[in-house]
Chains A and B, each alone.
Chain A
């Protein structure tokens, strides 16, 4: 069954440092993968999605993710963290049934 695993429930970086949030997927077929962000007391919004058109996907707010089939990974990165990036980040995969399953989430803290 399709699923995603997010490594690290909490990640802390300094402002201006690289952000790396890890997501590994399990899928028997080419997956459709998504990253969502949830700011404090807000709903979830889409950051980016992988639909097989390109392995490097660029999203909003300077985030990008690279699909690596050999590593079954879809890690999220941002070259330089900003204080406003502090939020909960969720990786998700679409299943053959058509629904979406989410990882446990990674809380990103940005230190000044």
Chain B
């Protein structure tokens, strides 16, 4: 595709339910990143993939959060037993190989836990 695609764009879920957020990176991009942006807040790093492996999982807020990437492409961020504090915009980005390359962002998934 032309850019990073995230789905759904909006998700409303009840407290305690599980949710899955999907990210389709730009074709050929080896790196994939997940961030969380709460209202009026900056970008909180969640996890980073290089290929299918995640060298840095330190940002996942709790064991309710998990992420995987398959085939070096699509990634899924799963939040189990959602809580109201999980409400935020979840952003995905991807970049080509190389430290000097920039990350290209998707439009995000707005998650609301009621």
A binds B: yes
Chain A residues in contact with chain B, CB under 8 A? Answer: 32, 34, 36, 42-46, 49, 51, 90, 92, 94-95, 97-105
B88-114 contacts to A, CB under 8 A, are: 91, 93, 99-100, 102-108
Contact status B41-A44, CB under 8 Å: no
* Interchain Cβ contacts within 8 Å, total number: 55
A107 to chain B, nearest CB (A): 9
Closest 7 CB pairs of A and B: A99-B48, A104-B42, A51-B100, A102-B43, A44-B105, A105-B42, A97-B56
Chain B residues in contact with chain A, CB under 8 A? Answer: 31, 33, 35, 41-43, 45, 48, 50, 55-56, 91, 93, 99-100, 102-108
Which of B42, B99, B104 is within 8 Å of A102, CB to CB? B42
Q: Which secondary structure dominates chain B's binding surface?
A: strand
A22 to chain B, nearest CB (A): 15
Return 15 A-B CB contacts under 8 Å, by A number: A34-B103, A43-B106, A44-B91, A49-B102, A51-B100, A92-B103, A97-B48, A98-B48, A98-B55, A99-B48, A99-B56, A100-B93, A101-B45, A102-B42, A105-B41
A25 to chain B, nearest CB (A): 14
Closest chain A residue to B55, Cβ basis: A97
Decide: A45 near B42, CB < 8 A? Known: A99-B56, A102-B35: no
Contact status A43-B45, CB under 8 Å: no
Decide: A43 near B107, CB < 8 A? Known: A94-B99, A98-B48, A98-B55: yes
Contact residues in B for A102 (Cβ distance below 8 Å) = 35, 42-43, 45
Contact status A90-B55, CB under 8 Å: no
Contact status B41-A100, CB under 8 Å: no
Contact residues in B for A105 (Cβ distance below 8 Å) = 41-43
Contact status B102-A34, CB under 8 Å: yes
B97 to chain A, nearest CB (A): 9
